[in-house]
Structure 1
Amino acid sequence: MLVQIIRVFLALAFFSAGTLKIVPSDLVPHAEEMRKEFVTFATKSLPFGIEVNPDVYRLVVGITEFLSSVVLLFGSPSARRIVNAVLIIVMIGAVYTHIALQQPIASTVPAIVLGLLLILHYWLSKPEKSKEQ
């Protein structure tokens, strides 16, 4: 039961976060602020001086989060484990970005909490070994 509760919470969180990143900014009040943040994320936080188009970066992250939320809710157990691992990587990147930009710890906490919940969900949803082996 706990794993289902965590899965639904994660799906709702990533559905919301992904939607904010991909919908037009005039439809959602906080979307414009997020777009401005992604300009900073894309130009100042990537390692080795890599720069990417902020809109492409935002859309890739947003579509990944949005589609992953759908798979978390409706996908097979193996598909859920795969997107869970993908989202763990996304959250590691989010934590790195906030630290690299020396942002206040409060801006990093959501990514840390979601990352820890993803790790817990991944661990709790391990396939059980067959007793016939």
Structure 2
Amino acid sequence: MALLVRVLRLGLGLFFLLTGAVKLSDRISAQLHLQMRAQFVQFADVFPLKEFGYSPEPVQYLEVVGWTEAVAGVLLALGPQLLQEISNFVLTVIMIGAIYTLLALKEPLAMCTPATVCLGLLLLLNVRGRGWKAKPKFE
């Protein structure tokens, strides 16, 4: 079971590194990067803190999310346990924000599937780290 958790953590970490890199650079996929830039214009319109007077500039919003995903992905995959837990929390918040944003834009539920699956896997890693540890053997 521990090997499965390590593989899941490594895979998720590398996935978030890749998604962050796509947001930051057009070298991986120019078309996908342009699509992300266009989407973040819409995402900025429904930013949760907009009701409190803060509306992010779309390109900066894209860059902040991209850097956060990339750094947290690396830490989730390769960092020490404390940083893995912190990055798991940060990525969980980002996925909740992504789901909120897509629902606020009234996107089809199928558009929420990737963020929902990632959120579920992050929560699984969090539960695994807390409650599924081997029980001590009493002699």
1:118 aligns with 2:122: yes
Q: Give how far 1:27 is off.
A: 5.5
Rounded to whole Å, the distance in 1 between the matches of 2:72 and 2:6 is 15
Picking from 58, 61, 65, the partner of 2:62 is: 58
Alpha carbons 1:43, 1:50 under 8 Å: kept:
no
- Contiguous gaps of at least 5 residues in structure 1: none
Q: Give how far 1:25 is off.
A: 7.1
Alpha carbons 1:22, 1:63 under 8 Å: kept:
yes
Partner amino acid, structure 1, of 2:124:
L
- Contiguous gaps of at least 5 residues in structure 2: none
CA RMSD of aligned residues (A): 2.2
Picking from 35, 38, 51, the partner of 1:36 is: 38
Rounded to whole Å, the distance in 1 between the matches of 2:28 and 2:7 is 33
Q: Flag as ranges the 4+ runs of structure 1 deviating above 4 A.
A: none
Residue identity over aligned pairs, in percent, reads 35
Q: Give how far 1:26 is off.
A: 9.0
- TM-score for the superposition, normalised by structure 1: 0.88
Rounded to whole Å, the distance in 2 between the matches of 1:25 and 1:55 is 17
69-78 or 33-42, which moves further after superposition?
69-78
Alpha carbons 1:18, 1:65 under 8 Å: kept:
yes
Q: Tell me what 2:75 maps to.
A: 71
The count of residues paired between Structure 1 and Structure 2 equals: 131
Alpha carbons 2:10, 2:78 under 8 Å: kept:
no
